[in-house]
Amino acid sequence: MDFENDLNPAQYQAVTAAGGPLLVIAGAGSGKTRTIVYRLARLVQQGVDPASILLLTFTRKASQEMLSRAAMLLGHGGDILPGVCGGTFHAFAYAALRRHHQTLGFPQGFTVIDRADADELIGRVKDDLGLGKGDKSFPKKSHVAELIGKSRNKECRVADIISRESFHLLPHADDLERMADGYAAAKAAHHLMDYDDLLFLLERLLVEHEDVREFYRRRFTHIMVDEYQDTNRVQARLITLLAPHTGNVMAVGDDAQSIYAFRGATVDNILAFPRIFPGTAVIKLEQNYRSTQPILELTNAILQNAGEKYDKTLFSTRTDGPKPELLRPFSDITQARMAVVKIRELARKWPLHEIAVLFRAGYQSYALEVELGKANIPFQKYGGIKFSEAAHIKDVLAYPRVVANPLDPAAWTRCLSFVPKIGPKTALRLMEAVRLGDQAAIDKAAKKHPQLAELFAFLDSLRAMPPHPGPILERAIAHHAPHLMEKYPDDYPRRLTGLEQLQQIASGYSSLDALLADMTLESPDEDKRKAREDHLVLSTVHSSKGLEWSAVLLLDLVDERFPSRHALTRDEDLEEERRLLYVACTRARDYLGLFVPETLYNRQAGVCSPVQPSLFVRELPASLCTMVRESLSGRPVPQSDSPDFAPPRPLSGSAAAPPSGPITACEPAPPRTDPSLLGYCRHKVFGRGKIIARLEGGKCRVNFPGFGPKMILSDYLEME
């Protein structure tokens, strides 16, 4: 390894830094993974025992890539660097809890349940408590599971989540708290853990048992954590509990890319790292290997007005390239047509899969999807069911799950669902009989349901086998094949191929527990996206993180869409929206286009209302962008003037209705209003509103939530 020639100065400094706490602030596209890989390889090269290194990431794919690349640098054979403990927080927690399950109070072990199983358990708790019967306003079990998960990750009450994000559910807050308590009790009674429990129970293990804590602090002399800005509070506490006495904790991340607060991640963790670990060396990676300098100038400007942050200035050796374009369609409707024209122009230079259209929320792409269909431009949206979440895969895995944990109710319910005339309630009674060892009840049910005896005999035969996943899965698939054909007659061959793939996966495991854990512990964010050749990419900004394209278009950069309406009311949310825009813009390598509609179409009123460009756009120096306006034909037309972010003044003092036709256009009138005269106000009847235009005769056009745009005399408004 030639460290000095392979790395830039900042990377070299991070790779060769002495012992002690180290924080690497890695700007977008700055070679973060390369830095971690080289430091990992250098530690081993200097004689550090690989088994004493703990590498924590947010996906298995990330850790495997790092370990594989480090092995190649060191000239090791095999796929990954042997000995290093590398994986996700949850996988590490699972391994530790499995090792110390008796200490934690699980003498017979435990089973990890996935989201679908959690939903099912929550549904049973709801039924047991008699909640929501006949009440259509009561949330579905999947949404209850989501609320409980958010409350765990944010470490607050379910009612607090409801009051902030789902206020319409406030009448059910007390019942949902009862369901959360019942769900926790049901998990404990059946030796079950969900995805979130793993971290909190590991924390409890380390806090309450000093000997266990000291075992891990002695075992790992070096801890390396990737994407530290995405950690939640319990993950940060786990790092402090595991931190070795040597102080060798390396955190790598970018505070400017902390965008997952809705999952419980907090930017405070990376900002507070030097305070938590005194003596921290802070190294900034600012050389960007992805984007051109004109794009980086804009991304640097986005962060200029951020609150608490690590100051950094991204730069590139790619100094050539066009300035980002600021595209101003007449409305959010005509934006779609203008975007299609721009996409066709870009497609003459790059293949479609190298072009991405990003947006803050999924609904913002609907109009564009229609226009793409009309233009016969193929596109893809990332998403779909995970392999391990497909129904037929879960059905087959239920058999070995029962073998591994006879107290697993979700697995029993799936197995028994294929026995005729046995529903969920009967299945739970049978499972309870198994738990209590009530053979008489089991024999009675078997006489009534002949196929039940066959199922119990089959499960007993699996339990008698050595716990090798390959042979067990082979028998389970053979047993389940007739049920598969009955349940999925339309696509039986495709699903059977999936089971064959599952069997192939199982053959690579030596432990049944490990297979079942991996099928459950796979991160919800594990990247399963595969770019399809010659397909345009449509994606939310959150889903785009970690990806890059030659050309990126960003839609709806107006207030209340980006930043979102919700974010405009809280400083911390607004700061996260700023970081979200930074992430979006840094996905672009060569071209960046920012769409700022001049009006938004109000579908209820049938009119177009003027709108403010995004707060973040208004902050940008005009010299960083090239202005492009929409012509009456829908084509982008470059402008020689500097960007003007003032919203158009409505014709005749009212919002103009869009003309009829296949594509409606909301055309602005030339006069414009000084943005300093716009803002928020209050009215005695309509409440709080936003002034969107100043009109002649001392009148204002004000948009009142729930009432829409109103023309009001200024004397009747109280400015904020």
Tell the residue number behind the tokens 């200024």, with chain if given: 714
If asked whether residues 486 and 569 sit together in one domain, one would say: no
The answer on whether 569 is annotated among ligand-binding residues is: no
The answer on whether 62 is annotated among ligand-binding residues is: no
Residue 511 belongs to some domain of the structure: yes
If asked whether residues 407 and 499 sit together in one domain, one would say: yes
Q: pTM of the prediction? A: 0.75
If asked whether residues 391 and 381 sit together in one domain, one would say: no
Enter the DSSP assignment of 172.
G
The total number of structural domains in the chain stands at: 5
Residue 20 belongs to some domain of the structure: yes
8 Å CB contact between 232 and 44 = no
Query: What is the model's pLDDT at position 625?
Result: 93
d(C-alpha 89, C-alpha 98), whole Å: 14
If asked whether residues 536 and 578 sit together in one domain, one would say: yes
Closest to 358 in 3D by CA, of 532, 540, 536: 540
8 Å CB contact between 354 and 549 = yes
Contacts of 50 (CB under 8 A, 6+ apart): 44, 81, 82, 83, 84
Q: How far is CA 267 from CA 83, 344, 507, 520, in A?
A: 32, 39, 41, 28
If asked whether residues 76 and 225 sit together in one domain, one would say: yes
If asked whether residues 542 and 611 sit together in one domain, one would say: yes
Query: What is the model's pLDDT at position 56?
Result: 95
The amino acid at 62 = A
If asked whether residues 431 and 509 sit together in one domain, one would say: yes
Output the DSSP codes for 283-301. Answer: EEE-B-SSS-HHHHHHHHH
Residue 643 belongs to some domain of the structure: no
For residue 599, list its beta bridge partners. Answer: 610
Query: What is the model's pLDDT at position 526?
Result: 42
Can you give the residue range of the structural domain that contains 143?
111-190
E-assigned strands of 441-483? none
If asked whether residues 569 and 599 sit together in one domain, one would say: yes
HEC string of 178-207 equals HHHHHHHHHHHHCCEECHHHHHHHHHHHHH
Residue 626 belongs to some domain of the structure: yes
d(C-alpha 509, C-alpha 511), whole Å: 6
- Tell me which of 132, 161, 190 is where a domain ends: 190
Q: β-strand 325-328 against 588-595: which pairing, if any?
A: parallel
The answer on whether 655 is annotated among ligand-binding residues is: no
8 Å CB contact between 253 and 25 = yes
- The CATH number of whichever domain residue 545 belongs to comes to 3.40.50.300
Q: How far is CA 156 from CA 153, 159, 670, in A?
A: 8, 8, 51
If asked whether residues 556 and 624 sit together in one domain, one would say: yes
8 Å CB contact between 598 and 331 = yes
Q: 594-634, pLDDT tens digit by residue?
A: 999 988 876 556 567 888 899 999 999 989 999 998 876 66
The answer on whether 33 is annotated among ligand-binding residues is: yes
How many degrees, rounded to 5, is the angle at CA 82 between CA 103 and CA 273? 65
Residue 422 belongs to some domain of the structure: yes
Is residue 49 classed as helix, strand or coil in its secondary structure? coil
Residue 674 belongs to some domain of the structure: no
Closest to 671 in 3D by CA, of 652, 658, 691: 652
The answer on whether 26 is annotated among ligand-binding residues is: yes
Residue 70 belongs to some domain of the structure: yes
If asked whether residues 544 and 615 sit together in one domain, one would say: yes
If asked whether residues 539 and 630 sit together in one domain, one would say: yes
- The CATH number of whichever domain residue 410 belongs to comes to 1.10.486.10
Where does residue 95 rank: exposed (0-12), middle (13-18), buried (19+ CB within 10 A)? middle
If asked whether residues 562 and 577 sit together in one domain, one would say: yes
Q: 422-468, pLDDT tens digit by residue?
A: 888 888 888 888 888 888 888 888 888 888 888 888 998 998 888 88
The answer on whether 71 is annotated among ligand-binding residues is: no
Residue 647 belongs to some domain of the structure: no
- Tell me which of 496, 521, 546 is where a domain ends: 521
Which positions of the chain have pLDDT values less than 50?
383-385, 490, 522-528, 646-673
- Tell me which of 190, 225, 259 is where a domain ends: 190
